[in-house]
């Protein structure tokens, strides 16, 4: 089976401190995984490592094309939401509908609330068409409706052969295999 993401004995140090070592994990099509652990244990760093934005200190990582939603909004604040999202990928309408953002299409990004901004970053991931989704604290600032919509999006993505890796200290909708860090 070809994995969409594979960690082979990976170690990561940040600022001279070892966050984890000898980490093995593999995500195949249709699989999901939640990275859990207390604040500061390296959840976000693991996500950035998986994205290729940080260098591993040891071991090997294989990854396919992926999309990342983290704290960074990465949308032009002066543009209306739809145009800002279209800088990254078009069409964006299905993803905006799925996250309940359709009515905000013409609202400038700078006027979005924290929860709406979170939905926008998730919409970018949903629109990306990448098989592997990396979601860093996807539930932050989301209301229950947002969380439900995210749950449905993830289910559809997994059903279509994608994979999802999330880092979250909160329980996610559905059954998630977990990796515990910082123990």
Partner 1 sequence: MIGALILRDARRGFTGGAWLPIAFFLLIAMLVPFAIGPDAQLLNRIGPGAMWIAALTAALLPIERLIEPDRADGTLDQLALHGMAEEVIAVAKIAAHWLTFAPPLMLAALPAASLLGLDRAAFAGALVSLWIGMPGLAALAVAVAALTAGLPRAGALAGLLLLPLAVPLLIFGASVSGGGGGNSALLLEAAVSIPLLAGAPFVTAAAIRAART
Residues in contact with partner 1 by the rule CB under 8 A = 14, 48, 51-54, 66-68, 70-76, 78, 87-88, 124
Q: For 172, which DSSP code?
A: P
CB of 149: closest distance to partner 1 in angstroms?
22
Q: Are strands 132-136 and 66-69 parallel, antiparallel or unpaired?
A: parallel
Strands, E assignment, 76-177: 132-136, 163-167
**Distance between CA atoms of residues 58 and 79, nearest Å:** 42
- Peptide linkage before 33 cis (omega within 30 of 0): no
Compare residues 84 and 172 and give the one whose CB is closer to partner 1: 84
Compare residues 90 and 160 and give the one whose CB is closer to partner 1: 90
Compare residues 40 and 177 and give the one whose CB is closer to partner 1: 40
CB of 138: closest distance to partner 1 in angstroms?
15
**Distance between CA atoms of residues 30 and 162, nearest Å:** 5
Question: Under a CB-based contact definition with an 8 Å cutoff, are residues 2 and 28 in contact?
Answer: yes
CB of 124: closest distance to partner 1 in angstroms?
8
Compare residues 124 and 149 and give the one whose CB is closer to partner 1: 124
CB of 53: closest distance to partner 1 in angstroms?
6
Compare residues 114 and 174 and give the one whose CB is closer to partner 1: 114
Residue 98, token pair as written in the block:
């799925």
Beta bridge partners of 167: 35, 136
């Amino acid at each position: 089976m070809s994995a969409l993401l594979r960690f082979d004995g990976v170690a990561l140090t940040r600022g001279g401190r070892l966050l984890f070592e000898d980490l093995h994990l593999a995500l195949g099509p249709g699989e999901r995984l939640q990275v859990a652990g207390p604040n500061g244990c390296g959840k976000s760093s693991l996500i950035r490592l998986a994205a290729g934005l940080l260098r591993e200190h040891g071991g090997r990582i294989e990854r396919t094309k992926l999309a990342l939603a983290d704290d960074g909004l990465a949308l032009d604040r002066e543009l209306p939401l739809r145009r800002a999202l279209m800088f990254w990928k078009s069409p964006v309408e299905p993803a905006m509908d799925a996250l309940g953002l359709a009515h905000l299409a013409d609202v400038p990004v700078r006027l979005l609330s924290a929860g709406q901004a979170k939905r926008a970053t998730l919409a970018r991931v949903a629109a990306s068409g990448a098989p592997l989704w990396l979601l860093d604290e996807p539930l932050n600032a989301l209301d229950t409706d947002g969380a439900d919509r995210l749950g449905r999006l993830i289910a559809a993505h997994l059903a279509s052969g994608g994979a999802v890796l999330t880092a979250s200290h909160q329980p996610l909708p559905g059954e998630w295999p977990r990796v515990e860090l910082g123990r």
